[in-house]
Amino acid sequence: MARIRRALTGSFAAAIAGGIIVSLLGWAAFAGGLVAGSGTGSSPGVHATAPATTPAATPASADRPNTVASIYRHDGRGVVFVEAQHRSAPAEPQPGPGS
């Protein structure tokens, strides 16, 4: 039991020391201007921007439901249709954990 307590005490002390070191390095990076914060402070060269939004699509007719064809006509610019001429060979069975 004492051996486990010593191991946990050493791990806890190492975690505390590591946290202090990371905190000090982070503070130095912010203070030195290497990292810009996301707060509302006045940092030179950092400007808040509005999030990008896209307008919602309006249906062509409120009484007609959307169909695959109508959605494709409205949003399908640049979409291509690919049709296979030959059937592919069946895949070889893969060895699994039970084989």
What is the model's pLDDT at position 56?
A: 57
pLDDT at 87: 77
Which pLDDT belongs to residue 53? 62
Check residue 5 and give its pLDDT. Answer: 76
This model's pTM is above 0.75: no
Q: What is the 3-state secondary structure (H, E, C) of 35-67?
A: CCCCCCCCCCCCCCCCCCCCCCCCCCCCCCCCC
- Please, what are the averages of pLDDT over each run of 10 residues along the chain (99 residues)? 76 89 92 75 58 58 74 77 78 72
Residue located via tokens 């249906």: 59
Instruction: Please state, in angstroms and rounded to a whole number, the distance separating the CA atoms of residues 2 and 4.
Output: 5
